[in-house]
Structure 1
Amino acid sequence: MNKEELKQKLVELNIKSEFYSLDGESLPDRIVMSQNYDKWDVFYFDERGNRDGEKIFSSESVACNYVYDLLMRQKEIEKKYN
Structure 2
Amino acid sequence: MNLKELKKKLDEQNVPTDMYSLNGWNPNEMMCIERKGQKWQVYCSERGMKTGMKIFKREVDACQYLYNIVMLCYRDRKEYLQK
TM-score normalised according to structure 2 size: 0.91
Cα distance in 1 between the residues matched to 2:53 and 2:25: 15
Cα distance in 2 between the residues matched to 1:60 and 1:8: 15
Aligned residue for 2:26? 26
Give the percent of matched residue pairs that are identical in Structure 1 and Structure 2: 37
Q: Structure 2 counterpart of 1:22, which letter? A: L
The answer as to 2:59 corresponding to 1:60 is yes
Quote how far apart the aligned CAs of 1:25 are: 3.7
Q: Structure 2 counterpart of 1:35, which letter? A: R
Secondary structure of 1:43's partner? strand
Contact 1:40 1:63 in 2 (8 A): yes
Contact 2:42 2:62 in 1 (8 A): yes
Contact 2:25 2:45 in 1 (8 A): no
Aligned residue for 1:15? 15
TM-score normalised according to structure 1 size: 0.92
Quote how far apart the aligned CAs of 1:70 are: 0.4
Report runs of 4+ in structure 1 exceeding 2 Å deviation. none
Give unpaired runs (5+ residues) of structure 2: none
Secondary structure of 2:18's partner? helix
Cα distance in 1 between the residues matched to 2:64 and 2:11: 15
Paired residues in the alignment total 81
Cα distance in 1 between the residues matched to 2:45 and 2:78: 23
Aligned residue for 1:42? 42
Root mean square deviation, CA, Å: 1.0
Q: Structure 2 counterpart of 1:51, which letter? A: K
The answer as to 2:20 corresponding to 1:4 is no
